[in-house]
Amino acid sequence: MNITLNKIGRRFNREWIFKNIDYSFHQGESYAILGANGSGKSTLLQVLNGSLTPSAGKITYNDGTAEIEAENIHRHLSLSAPYLEVIEDFSLNEMINFHFKFKLYKAGMDKQAVTDLLNLQGSHNKQIKHFSSGMKQRLKLALAFCSDTPLLMLDEPTSNLDTQGIDWYLSLIEQFSSGRLTIICSNQQHEYGFCKKHISIADYKS
């Protein structure tokens, strides 16, 4: 999957969050979107994943053989973000089953493998509302990484994770990001240190 931005901009009321972004994202590459808190990183990611439409410019998705319409891009991506909530009243089993009604498992993965990855073998029937904030973050990351999609988008991926959780996240990067177009929104170097290409929101302010 490749994404091409042509003069992309997004504004709220009269204020431009960013504008005139000309950039291409390519399959198999890793990118970090960088900037201070409130700079517009998450807004750009939401434009990239089709949650928001740009206020100016054009975004094009291509899977290498054909163009993908923006309204269908969600079928090709996995997302973990602070604004993307898990369903609190679901059990762990129910949440995994629900998620994978819409996504395929990556090769070699199934519900048990996801549970093992989370180290929650005894919590199949535990409601997510009883999970800690760190455990909820781990769940969101595991669902994203274990979905068989060419696009992987992560916003502040280690929020609510301790040192052990950060190491766990980095192990998922090694295990599950190969061959995907991976985009990380962050201002913490440990989250995006593996990314070969960086985009600074500050470069696209009016």
10-residue mean pLDDT series, the chain (206 residues): 95 91 95 91 94 94 89 93 91 96 94 91 88 94 97 95 95 94 94 94 86
Give pTM, 2 decimals. Answer: 0.93
**Pair of tokens at residue 86:** 């898990």
Q: What is the pLDDT of residue 64?
A: 83
What pLDDT shows up at residue 195?
94
Tokens of 154: 């992560």
- 73: domain CATH number is 3.40.50.300
Q: What is the pLDDT of residue 123?
A: 84
pLDDT on residue 14: 87
CB 32 within 8 A of CB 199: yes
| β-bridge partners, 59 | 5
Q: What is the number of domains present in the chain?
A: 1
Q: How many CB atoms lie within 10 A of CB 38?
A: 9
| Longest CA pairwise span in the chain (Å) | 52
For residue 165, the enclosing domain spans: 2-204
| C-alpha dist (Å) from residue 83 to 45, 87, 106 | 12, 12, 24
